[in-house]
Amino acid sequence: MYCTSRIGSPKCYSPRATSPRLRSPSPRARLFNCRMSPYQRITSTKSIGNIALPSFLRLSCPGTDELLKNFSLTRVRTTNSTADTSVFNKYSQQSPISEIIAGKGNHPSEFVNYVFDSKLYPEQVLLRVGKIELTRKDIACLRPGKLLPINLIDACLSCIKRRNKKMFQKCETHQRVIIMKTSFSQKVFQSKEKNAIRSKKNLLNFEYLLFPLFIGYWTILVVNNREKTAKYYDPIGIEKNEKQVFKGLFDFLKQEISFHQGKSIEGTRWKHLECQRVNETDAYDHIDSAVYVLRLAFKISTGKNIEISPDVLSEYRTKLITLLFKYGTKIVY
């Protein structure tokens, strides 16, 4: 037992009786109580030892300081903050996106080259269109001969709709077009519970309604609200399902008119809806059916007299990347 004397009455103190507040902190406590920057924590000897890095990355190795300077600690604007970015950091050192889309190189052609660079991380999120996030792998499907995923199709349709909205804001005489999401179109024409399917806004106030439909390949239904006509464009022409599509459209219009206008379709001009199937004379590949739908949607939304043929679809794939670059939100790393 250790004894200490005080002025007045001497008293002995035992280490076990000492108040916890008076005890000196342990070396481990002193280590964690001191203020360290995130960089110091990551590059500390203890941290590196715990994650078992190779010897050439340890602090005791000569030249480590120069090696660590090459690693840029940047923030990643993604929804998944717990994702493993070790593989991404390996790829991102070769061509930083910050120089291409965040400031220095803000030209669409540079972005196209950056997307198609096979040396870079395929799962890196490059663009966000609304709530849709597009990775390099998704956008790279716009290469010729690739099938387009649904999220990429919806993102392109959303950009086309934004283009139409801006054109209408500049000129109120421009036709207003609303393009349905692929999931909504599927519910309208393929769901059995049609009574619960209705839009929040009155779709009949727009000049055109576009419904992209997948029937093993992509087709599109174009409804002209002014002329009360509907045209079903089928680039492949092997499915004879136009009667089912037009019946689904008539049932949907009946619900829309009843819900938004409080009328029966029998008392409107929609009673005499004219429907037409459009079969293309050119031979399209089913891989390009989605690009065909996007090209036609762009033509109707912009009012431009552009050519639609198998020969121009490969070039249009690259223009779709430019469209995404213009109207999408670039993710900065």
- What structural domains and CATH numbers belong to the chain? 159-304 (3.40.395.10)
pLDDT at position 173 is 79
Query: What is the pLDDT at residue 169?
Result: 84
- What's residue 208's pLDDT? 94
Between 333 and 215, where is the model more confident? 215
Are the C-beta atoms of residues 154 and 181 closer than 8 Å to each other? yes
In this predicted model, what pLDDT tens digit does every residue of 296-311 receive, in sequence order?
A: 999 999 998 999 999 9
- Which residue has 């992209």 as its token pair? 212
Helix (H, G, I), strand (E, B) or coil at 330: strand
Among candidate residues 125, 126, 107, 245, the one with its CA nearest the CA of residue 188:
245
Q: List for the chain the helix, strand, coil content (%; round to 5).
A: 45, 15, 40
44-74 confidence digits (pLDDT tens): 666 655 555 454 444 444 444 554 444 443 3
Q: Are 325 and 111 in contact (CB under 8 A)?
A: yes
Lowest-confidence range among 130-144, 199-213, 228-242, 306-320?
199-213
| pLDDT band at 15; cut points 50, 70, 90 | very low
User: How many whole angstroms separate alpha carbon 246 and alpha carbon 274?
Assistant: 9
DSSP label at residue 63:
T
d(CA 281, CA 279): 6
Evaluate if pTM is beyond 0.85.
Answer: no
Between 268 and 191, where is the model more confident? 268
The rounded distance, in Å, linking the Cα atoms of 188 and 186 is 5
Do 141 and 147 contact (CB within 8 A), yes or no?
A: yes
Residue type, position 185, single letter: S
pLDDT at position 38 is 67
> Using alpha carbons only, what angle is made at residue 121 by residues 115 and 125, rounded to the nearest 5 degrees?
65
Question: Angle at Cα 311 formed by Cα 305 and Cα 314, nearest 5°?
Answer: 95
- For residue 74, the tally of other CB atoms under 10 A from its CB is 13
